[in-house]
Structure 1
Amino acid sequence: MSSTTSRVPGTYVFDAAENRRGRALNRLCGSLKDAENRERFTADEAAYCETYGLTAEQRDAVLRRDWNLMMELGGSIFYVFKLAMVDQKSMQYLGGVFTGMTTEEFAQALKAGGRNFG
């Protein structure tokens, strides 16, 4: 993690250093906006990761769908969410993962004003 991240416990700060570190991961996830790329990805996820030059750790995080690790490795939620959509996962699902809640608990917390996460 970057030094910026450690200053905000439990929060991923997406700064310039994280942007550089996560460039390949975010490019891969961003490419999934196109149907043809989603088809290529789902046909052979590991090979698709290779075409984007992910680090071994990023590749493993993608293949295991370790959403938290993707964020720690420089992933931007705006791009990582495109991968979640391939798996038909909602933003509320990811919010639950990031806060240690179920999707339903996270959605309820949002309805209650969103101030009581984790």
Structure 2
Amino acid sequence: MNNNNKPYSDIPGTTVFDGDMARIGFHLNQFCMSLMQESNRTAFKQNERTYLDKWPMTEAQKCAVIARDFSQLIALGGNIYYLVKISSSDGLSVAAAVSTMTNLSVDEYIDMMRRGGRSPEGNRYVVSNTSEEKQ
């Protein structure tokens, strides 16, 4: 799901978190926020599936949580600021969670970010974003 028919739908490797994605991921993101409470983290860690079944999330969202597939969770409406609550519950840093969405190790990811992040080359609109070409 990459926000089809939107002016920003052709940015390679990018899912823009907009109002539509917020609606799709509402219950997923609410689940993530529940992990801020220690009792909820404990219940989740004791039986992830049972805890997830308390939330009206899609089956795909639940499976992606169990698999810790952050790229898929973003595609299913997850917001990275909420999703890191899952990795934090696992005792992982934000960098460790985010590095899983790249082809880099945690150390390589941190090094890339310290050097200014990924290059914008190849990561811009596929089609020029001029009003003439978008009409």
Structure 1 gap ranges (5+): none
* 1:86-101 map, 5 Å: 86-101=89-104
Q: Which residue does 2:34 correspond to in 1?
A: 31
- 1:42 pairs, out of 21, 42, 45, with 45
RMSD over aligned Cα atoms: 1.7
Q: Which runs of 5+ in 2 are unaligned?
A: 124-135
Superposed CA offset, 1:22-76 (max 9, x none): 0111010110001010011111110111111111100100111111111110000
CA distance in 2, matches of 1:58, 1:74: 9
TM-score normalised to structure 1 length:
0.91
Is the 1:109–1:116 contact (alpha carbons within 8 Å) kept by the matching residues of 2? no
**Please, what TM-score do these two structures have when normalized by structure 2?**
0.81
State the aligned residue count.
118
Q: How far apart, CA to CA, are the structure 1 residues paired with 2:69 and 2:116? A: 27
Matching residue of 1:110:
113
Identify the structure with the greater helix proportion: 1
Larger radius of gyration: 2
Letter in 2 for 1:56: E
Asked whether 1:78 is paired with 2:81, we answer yes
**Whole-Å Cα distance in 1 between the matches of residues 115 and 96 of structure 2?**
17
Aligned-residue sequence identity (percent) comes to 33
Once residues 44 and 97 of structure 1 are traced to their aligned partners in structure 2, the CA distance between those partners, rounded to angstroms, is 23
- Deviating above 2 A after TM superposition, structure 1's stretches of 4 or more consecutive aligned residues are 4-7, 115-118
Residue type of the partner of 1:31?
S
Give the distance between the partners of 1:116 and 1:107, measured in 2 at CA. Answer: 15
